Chain A
Amino acid sequence: MADSPYLPTEAFARWRKMKSTAVTAVLVVCALAVIAPLFLVIYFLVVHGSSSIDWNFFTQLPKPTGETGGGMANAIVGTVTLLAMASIVGVPLGVLGGIYLAEYGSDRANDWLRFAADVLNGVPSIVWGMVVYLMLVVPFKTFSAYAGGVALGFMMVPLVMRTTEEVLILVPQSYREAALALGVARWKMIMVIVVRTALKGIATGVIVALARIAGETAPLLFTALGNNFWNHNLKEPIAALPLQIFAYAISPYDDWHRQAWAGALVLMALILALNIIVRVLSRDRIHKN
């Protein structure tokens, strides 16, 4: 009825305009609704977190149940350790894989590999935990920092591989031709000219991947396990910020809830810092091109 072409033209035109305005308003409201959660999360993180952060938080171990105070020093160090170990696994595999895709692979094989990387990217993170549990925890009969690092590292591989490929493709073909024309071996040309040129882009990709896995909890549950003390041996369980936040959030103690907020604020700050580094790095790249 509303769309009937037999309505008086003017009224009909007004109706159509009204409808258009209404839709516009709905779209604006939707956009606001989408970004609102970000501000709500950050607001509560800052409100609850900042009041709980003190010097002890960064320097002390968690206190046993029932005692107030203590901190998450071991979890902060643990997260950094796990990220470093994940990089050792994920960066070489991802970068070399990206080099293969950009420099060697045939179109057809590449399509399949890219597809496989995207599918692998969609494997739920908890599944990585189970797989690495069978690979490294069962055979060695202990939860360990190694297992946690490997689980996170595997998650990095497809991410790093795809971004490496993307930035290597951007390196002008003439660079490669010039190097080869000078008689440089292909592998040297790739490492010294191509990778070197794209180094910043590759680093950006690695940091993006690190930011993605820094907050991962599920793959660590049955690999790194968590630890209330300092980890002195990577063959033993290690604490991590996300694990500690999870354990404290579902605990019944107010003081632990307070610390969970503080931990969440620190974790979020770490991830934001990584994202800011990415922004700075990629802004330079855009300027240069």
Chain B
Amino acid sequence: MSKTPSSTSPLPEPGSRFPDFAFKWVAAGAAFMIVVLIVMVGWQLYAGSRMALSQFGFGFLWSSEWDPVQDKYGALPFIFGTLVSSLLALLIAVPLGVATAIFLTELAPLKLRQPIVMAIEMLAAVPSVIFGLWGIFVLIPWLRDHLFVWLRHYFGYLPLFQGPIYGVSMLAAGIVVAIMILPIITSISREILRSVPNLQREAAYALGATRWEVLKIAVLSYARRGLFGAAVLGLGRALGETMAVTMVIGNRPQISASLFAPGYTLASVIANEFTEATSDLYLNSLFELGLVLMGVAILVNAAAQLMLKSMTGSGPIKVN
């Protein structure tokens, strides 16, 4: 790009390099906004909860008292509720999701695959609040009158299925969250199973294995780690689920062995009480709950990303 006299060159004068430089840095700025946003989220939650952090220290995490009148706050019932409802959801969604992924990659007729995949994508598009509405008016009455009664009748000797049935409950929340995380677990599992080399399967078939044996020895053992990653990613989603859970879990800060009992989660207590928080300490405590929630969600998500990355090797898996 040396200076050429414009009279002899068909090229225009080389322009200033400034626009190029500026554009690059604007784009870089936008990309690094991602990092800025993460730091900002962490900082704001920390700033918002400083008062509660200094007042309660780590005791906040295992105190089960939540009494706005006395200005005493503890996170345990919410941590318990979040963990139990998310684990229940995983317990239901992982086997179903993985089985569906197997069905889709290994044995569904080609014509059926696309419609089923589309249906699952549509399920993922249903907003949380609509699942909540459906949960309140369709699912919960059915659970209360049929499934829960049945469970108590046949498994009532377990502490899990004892006590009065209200309908709104930890189990209802688990079921709704399971439905909501099924699409992501299914689609990631499907990606994982599709990355299993066909040679694996062919080798097993060549040895005379039946379809189930092929799945067991050639496909699942190969994909195990990735499927675990899919489950962890589902857990990350389940932990932060807010609206649907708030609408079906009953919102009572208690720790109960029974899955029929109402519970409360980190996300739903924030959703319900944030605008009603009357004292600064109250609001600070809610922010601290948010901090706990975000910390756990980010850790779980990061772990899932790393697991999936090491599984697929080439390039990250698309998660949305």
A77 to B161, CA, bound (A): 46
The winner among B31, B239, B274, B318 for most chain A CB atoms within 10 A is B31
Minimal Cβ-Cβ distance residue in B for A219: B242
Judging by beta carbons under 8 Å apart, are B116 and A35 in contact?
yes
- Which of chain B's residues 259-310 have a Cβ closer than 8 Å to chain A? 267, 270-271, 274-275, 286-287, 290, 293-294, 297-298, 300-302, 305
The winner among A35, A101, A103, A134 for most chain B CB atoms within 10 A is A35
Count, chain B residues at interface, CB 8 A: 92
- Check if A148 is an interface residue, CB within 8 A of chain B: no
Residues of A contacting B320 in the complex (Cβ-Cβ under 8 angstroms): 121, 159, 162, 208, 212
- What distance in Å separates the Cβ of B124 from its nearest Cβ neighbour in chain A? 9
A103 to B23, CA, bound (A): 11
- Check if A84 is an interface residue, CB within 8 A of chain B: no
The winner among A37, A94, A261 for most chain B CB atoms within 10 A is A37
Judging by beta carbons under 8 Å apart, are A30 and B96 in contact?
yes
- What distance in Å separates the Cβ of B304 from its nearest Cβ neighbour in chain A? 8
Judging by beta carbons under 8 Å apart, are A118 and B301 in contact?
yes
Known: A116-B35, A118-B305, A130-B274. A96 touches B26 (CB 8 A): yes
Choose one: B35, B47, B297; the contact of A122 (CB below 8 Å).
Answer: B297
Residues of A contacting B186 in the complex (Cβ-Cβ under 8 angstroms): 34
Judging by beta carbons under 8 Å apart, are A16 and B213 in contact?
yes
Minimal Cβ-Cβ distance residue in A for B308: A118
Minimal Cβ-Cβ distance residue in B for A182: B11
Size category of the A interface is 35 or more
A interface, over-half SS: helix
Known: A130-B290, A131-B44, A154-B37. A24 touches B24 (CB 8 A): no
Known: A33-B96, A190-B23, A275-B125. A41 touches B134 (CB 8 A): yes
| Residues of B bordering A, CB below 8 Å | 11-12, 14-15, 19-20, 22-24, 26-35, 37-38, 40-41, 44-45, 47-48, 95-97, 99-100, 102-104, 107-108, 116, 119-123, 125-134, 136-138, 179, 182, 186, 210-213, 215, 236-237, 239-243, 247, 267, 270-271, 274-275, 286-287, 290, 293-294, 297-298, 300-302, 305, 316, 318-320
| Residues of A bordering B, CB below 8 Å | 16-17, 19-20, 22-24, 26-28, 30-31, 33-35, 37-38, 40-41, 44-45, 48, 92-97, 99-101, 103-105, 113-131, 133-135, 154, 157-159, 161-162, 166, 183, 185-188, 190-191, 208, 211-212, 214-218, 221-222, 225, 242, 245-246, 249-250, 257, 260-261, 264, 267-268, 271-272, 275
10 sampled A-B residue pairs with Cβ under 8 A: A30-B96, A31-B104, A96-B26, A97-B34, A104-B24, A104-B27, A119-B302, A127-B41, A130-B287, A268-B126
